[in-house]
Amino acid sequence: MFAYYLNLARRSLRRAPGLTAWTLLTLALGIAACMTTLTVYHVLAADPIPAKSARLFYVRLDASGLEGYVPGGKPNLQVTRRDGETLLREAHAPRQAMTASGGAMVQRGQDQPRHTEVRFATADFFPMFDAPLAAGRTWSAAEDAAAARVVVLDAPSAERLFGGAAQALSQVLRVEGQPMRVVGVLAPWRPTPHFFDVTSGAFREPAALFVPFATAMQAKLARSGSASCWGDAPVSDVTALDAPCDWLQYWVELKSADDAPAYTQYLQRYSAQQHEAGRFARPPNVRLHSVMDWLATNRVVPPDVHLQLGLALAFLLVCVLCSVGLQLAKTLRRSNEIGVRRALGATRRDVFAQFMVESLVMGGVGCVLGLLLSWAGLALVRAGQTDYAQVVTLDAPMLLAAMGVSLVAALLAGVLPALRAAGVSPALQIKS
Amino acid sequence: MDLMPILRTLRKHKTAATLIVLETAVACAVVANALHLVGERLRLLTRADGLPSADLLVVHAVPSGTQDDAQRRQITERDMAALRALPGVASASFVNQMPYANYNNFSGVSRDGGKDARNYHANMHAADASVFKTLGLTFTEGGPFADGPTPHMQDARDDFSLVPRGVVINTDLARALYPGESALGKPLYMVKPFTIIGVSDNLPMTHPQAKPEGQRYAALFQVRPSVGEGFHVLRVAPDTSAAARADLVQRVRRTLMAVDPQRELARVEWLDQMRRDYDASDRQMAWLMAAVTAVLLMVTTGGVVGLASFWVQQRTRMIGTRRALGATRGQVLRYFLAENALLTSMGLVLGMAGAYGLGLALMRHWEVAPLPAWYLPAGAAVLLALGQLAAWIPARQATRVSPVVALRG
């Protein structure tokens, strides 16, 4: 029966090629708009580290001065160096890392030095964030403490500078004129969003060079990203140990999300101590954000993407409404044919099924067309100048979603005409 | 024209009528808001920054990491002397920050530094007196600080009292600090008290699209940054030819690399190009919105054409009868157009309400400016016109129905 309906559908669609083409185009445009924006949204709102995003936490303390203080307000966005180093030393969580972005002129041999993005980090950074290692090792906590002159390179830099990960090991680079040895090379790694530091763009690539935090401080590497200072005295060096400035991201990895309240209490106790000692002007006010919570707090999905998604959904709605109208028109034009089929013994249910099969065919073709158009749409997004242009790709779940959306859209557009068709009474039509 | 027959016919075709009404309503709500969003972006894209952007060449030179402070100061001085000597350079300065460069320096300022004084987050500029000529800063009150001893930025950080007291602020900050009165000669407090000696209407913001727009404050202090702390900015005469501009870029590169061969020139770019890049995502969004709106209108029109032609076909016999009873072609045409206008108008009433609601939602959740009232009738007028055009195609077919049709069958 299904094959027969398919055959009927094929004939019916070919009988009115103009109308069929227009209906298909309408459906395909709606599907494409929807899929393009949904894909962008899906990529940008993705969980960058699904295996542990629920037990990785971002730490915030309220270390600011009293100016602009509102009880119950928000704590600082980042931590100070003094707080970061203290928490790190107390090591209250199974793993913890302090990190910040920076930049340095990096020189290989006697080459022209090149300005390179640097990430300052402490030892746990790599295992915590599942940074994949291609060769060598990352540095140890002991090397952290000793401000060892060691660095880890990312995959493209190792390739560019030394022709590969293995070749880069044990090579020496001059970082701001100071020799540092390459102990490890990462495999290609691009967590999206760039969750562990969203202060300077949530969709950028991780840094090219990783340097132990203490080493970066000792070598006086320049920090980048945002920093905010408070107090009345001018700050001559933001990175000084006791500078009243927040500029570091502090992360902890707990055994499970259930340990978060206990860790929050620890932060409360720490803040209370600092408040009593006079270091914190404000009463304790701490926050612990899980990865997804931190991304939401920072609104890493740009408002424009939400707007586009809404617009695309509305657009799809109009497209579905229009194709309902077009199919309705076509259906009722075929009242004669339906009348004959009914008179020859087809039940209402048969007629309904026949027309739904036709809608499914439309949905199938619309889906293929829509996917082609989405592919073009995504190519446009990638060619665009948004900061997320590079990371947008269509993956398997989105392909499935595309098929789902097309099917639902086509069925929605088909139900009403099919119902109307099933309602055609045989007698009236045969008469004419 | 009598609407009663139309209404009576519509009651018989509820599905088709409802579809047209819904299509028009959703399209109207979306189109009005999408056009509003396009308008907002265009306003951002066309706003004047008051700078001679086409004539300003901005250089970001990253110094090689091996020099100390004193060496960087020397290099900066040699850079500036060499750049000023280049033919075609009308003026050159070293400024700690430039607009559209993705680098900002903010600080809290207030009227008097008292504990309850309101703090404003202001963009802090640091440059010597040559900056007024280079950026072409204009004043609504007062004027520039005089050329004179200018402390180095690092020294000023260590001892703020070295900074000359006269400070220039932008009009937004002047209005915020001293609403309804002149800010000239009044105090401004940042770490230490300063005196406002000029209010400039084009002292740039590094991030001009910062929201909310009311908080776009900037102040300029007489402090001298060195390489690694800012940008070399060169100004050329407006009548400089394209070839001469391209040539200058090359000369600037060579000159700066000659002073410090180990530095990296991360940026040598005209400010108007920097602005185009800075605006790129907004321009893209405006294009996208406009394109989607156009396609949406096209799809809606197509839908209406489809429905209306089906409708006309279904009523061929009725048309024939009317024609046979003496109705002219014009009357038949007008009948279908009136019918369409009635349906579209019902959709538009719904649509305008929807547009208003959608506008409120956008305003609440996405910081979009309120939808100006005139967008509603404007969007409605566009859709009504398109609806009539869409109906006109099948309606004209209807007029061709011969009266004989009614007599057959």
Query: Which among A207-216, B10-19, B367-376 has the top mean pLDDT?
Result: A207-216
Judged against a pLDDT cut of 60, whether residue B294 lies above it is answered with yes
Radius of gyration for chain A, computed over Cα atoms and rounded to the nearest angstrom: 30
Q: Based on the number of CB atoms within 10 Å of its own CB, is B71 exposed (0-12), middle (13-18) or buried (19 or more)? A: middle
Alpha-carbon gap, residue B218 to B203, rounded angstroms? 7
Half-sphere exposure of B1 (CA within 13 A, CB side): 17
Q: Residue A30: which of A316, A412, A364 has the closest Cα?
A: A316
For B189, nearest residue in chain A (alpha carbons) = A232
Report the pLDDT averaged over residues B284-302.
88
| Window A:230-249, CB contacts with B under 8 Å | 232-236
Please state, in angstroms and rounded to a whole number, the distance separating the CA atoms of residues B343 and B326: 26
Taking an 8 Å cut-off on Cβ atoms, the answer to whether B154 and A112 are in contact is no
> Which of B158, B310, B409 lies nearest to residue A236, judging by beta carbons?
B158
Report d(CA B137, CA B199) in Å as an integer.
10
Nearest to A202 by CA among A46, A331, A318: A46
Q: Is B40 helix (H, G, I), strand (E, B) or coil?
A: helix
The amino acid occupying position B209 is: Q
Strand partners for A209: A118, A153
CB A231 within 8 A of CB A111: no
Check if the beta carbon of residue A41 is closer than 8 Å to that of residue A388.
no
pLDDT band at B70 (very low <50, low <70, confident <90, very high): very high
Size of interface A-B (CB pairs under 8 A): 144
Residues in chain B within 8 Å Cβ distance of A330: 310
> Quick one: CA dihedral A339, A341, A346, A348, positive or negative?
negative
CA angle, corner A397, sides to A393 and A403, nearest 5? 100
pLDDT at B213 (0 to 100): 53
DSSP 8-state class, residue B28? H
Kindly compute the dihedral angle of the four CA atoms of residues B248, B254, B258, B264, in this order, to the nearest 10 degrees.
Answer: 110
The sheet carrying B231-236 orders its strands as B89-95, B231-236, B56-62, B264-270
Nearest to B366 among A105, A303, A321 (CB): A303
Which regions of chain A are under pLDDT 70?
Answer: 427-432
Question: Measured between CA atoms, how close is A106 to chain B, in angstroms?
Answer: 8
What does the alpha-carbon distance between residue B179 and residue A63 come to, in Å, rounded to a whole number? 33
CA distance A409 to B137: 57
- pLDDT, residue A155, reads 95
Q: Which chain B positions have a beta carbon within 8 Å of A105's beta carbon?
A: 62-65, 262, 264
CB B105 within 8 A of CB B231: no
- A312 CB neighbours in chain B (<8 A) are 292
Residue A117 near residue A209 (C-beta atoms within 8 A): yes
Distance CA B334, CA B311 (A): 15
Which residues 265-304 of A have a C-beta within 8 angstroms of B?
A: 303-304
pLDDT at position A117 is 94
pLDDT tens-digit series, residues B233-262? 999 999 999 999 999 999 999 999 999 998
> Coil, strand or helix: which one is A172?
strand
Q: What is the pLDDT of residue A252?
A: 96
Q: What is the pLDDT of residues A320-369, one digit of tens each?
A: 888 888 888 787 778 788 888 888 888 888 888 888 888 888 888 888 89
Separation between Cα atoms, residue A62 and residue A80, nearest integer Å: 10
Mutate to test the interface with A, among B296, B344, B383 (most CBs of A within 10 A): B296
Place B210 in a pLDDT band, splitting at 50, 70 and 90: low
Query: Would you state the pLDDT for residue B212?
Result: 53
Nearest to B57 by CA among B256, B306, B322, B193: B256
C-beta separation of B196 from B188 below 8 A:
yes
Q: Which two tokens stand for residue B199?
A: 């209010």
Task: Tell me how far apart the alpha carbons of residues A18 and A308 are, in angstroms, rounded to a whole number.
Answer: 30
Give dist(CA B192, CA B337) in Å, integer.
74
Mean model confidence pLDDT for chain B: 87
String of DSSP letters for B54-84: GGEEEEEEEPPTT--HHHHHHHHHHHHHHHH
Report the range out of A153-162, B27-36, B322-331 with the highest average pLDDT: A153-162
ipTM of the complex: 0.82
Radius of gyration of chain B (CA): 32
Q: Given a cut of 80, is residue B407 above it in pLDDT?
A: no
Label the pairing between strands A178-186 and A150-153. parallel
Task: Tell the residue number behind the tokens 């605006």, with chain if given.
Answer: B279
Among A123-132, A350-359, B6-15, B103-112, where is mean pLDDT lowest? B6-15
**In this predicted structure, what is the pLDDT of residue B304?**
83
- Reference B313, options B390, B407, B405; nearest CA is B405
C-alpha dihedral (A96, A102, A107, A108), degrees to nearest 10? 30
Neighbours of A373 (CB within 10 A): 19
Grouping H, G, I as helix, E, B as strand and the rest as coil, residue B341 is: helix
Q: Are A357 and A9 in contact (CB under 8 A)?
A: yes
Question: For A219, which residue in chain B has the nearest alpha carbon?
Answer: B65
Can you give the pLDDT at residue A150? 97
Decide if B264 and A432 are in contact by the 8 Å CB cutoff: no
Of A128-137, B192-201, B398-407, give the lowest mean pLDDT range: B398-407
Cβ-proximal residues to B323 (8 Å cutoff; 6+ apart), any chain: B329, B332, B401, B402, B403, B406
Contact A363, A14 (CB under 8 A): no
Beta-carbon separation of B26 and A222 below 8 A:
no
Q: Of A24-28, A353-357, B220-224, B319-323, which gets the smallest average pLDDT? A: B319-323
Q: What is the mean pLDDT of residues B200-204?
A: 91
Measured distance CA(B171)–CA(B169) in Å, rounded: 7
Nearest to B282 by CA among B371, B208, B179: B208
- Determine, for residues B26 and A321 on separate chains, whether the beta-carbon distance falls below 8 Å: yes
Give the Cα separation of A319 and B106 in Å (integer): 48
**pLDDT value, residue B370:** 83
A54: left (phi over 0), alpha (psi -120 to 50) or beta: alpha
- Nearest C-alpha neighbor of A393 from the set A67, A13, A40: A40
| A315·B296 Cβ contact <8 A | yes
List, as one string, the DSSP characters of A376-419. Answer: HHHHHHHHS-STTGGG----HHHHHHHHHHHHHHHHHHHHHHHH
Contact A121, A213 (CB under 8 A): yes
How high is the pLDDT of residue A431?
A: 58
Query: What is the CB-side half-sphere exposure of residue B296 using CA atoms within 13 A?
Result: 32
| Local structure of A212: helix, strand or coil | strand
Nearest to A30 by CA among A380, A344, A362: A362
Query: What pLDDT does residue A232 have?
Result: 72
Contact B19 A325 (CB under 8 A): yes
Are B93 and B233 in contact by the 8 Å Cβ rule? The answer is yes
Instruction: Report the gap between the CA of A136 and the closest CA in chain B (Å).
Output: 27
Antiparallel, parallel or unpaired: β B166-170 and B192-200: parallel
Chain B CB within 8 Å of residue A110 CB: no
Please spell the DSSP secondary structure of A258-318, one letter per residue: GGHHHHHHHHHHHHHHHHHTTS-SSPP-EEEEEHHHHHHHTT-S-HHHHHHHHHHHHHHHH
